[in-house]
Every structure is written in C-alpha cells, then in structure tokens.
Amino acid sequence: MTISDLEAFNSTGIEQQLVALAETCARLGMHFHSQVSFGPDADGLCHTFTAQSVRAEGKPS
C-alpha cells in the first residue's frame, strides 16, 4: 500500500462511517463490532480502525 492508497482510503471517511454505524446500533440495542486493518504503508506502519457498540449500556465504546 502506498501513501496515495492510504490517502484515498482515508478520504472515503470509513472510520467516521464505522463509528456512526456503531452509534446507531447502540441506540437500537444491537451490538456492532468492526475492525478494518491495512498496511504496511511506505513507512512500514500498519493502521487499524475499530468501531464498537456495547449493548448493555447502549453507548458506543
């Protein structure tokens, strides 16, 4: 994955979409967990985005 690939991935707003979906599921009393990982990038780093909702509390965590 190149830096341009990373920038293209970030520009899709996937992290914000995952968080919004987790929050919606929490309000509906459903559990949602998603993790998106990619890398290594040109600097050898791997990146992970996680979105999760907790059913018991009804709040995103």
SS3 33: strand
Q: Give the strands of the sheet with 47-54, arranged side by side.
A: 33-38, 47-54, 59-60
Split into its structural domains, the chain has a count of 1
Q: Is residue 61 part of a domain?
A: no
pLDDT reading at 56 higher than 50: no
Q: What pLDDT was estimated at residue 10?
A: 61
| Residue 30 structural domain | 3-55
Q: Is residue 34 part of a domain?
A: yes
Residue 14 lies in a domain: yes
**pLDDT class for 5, splitting at 50, 70, 90?**
low
**60, part of any domain:** no
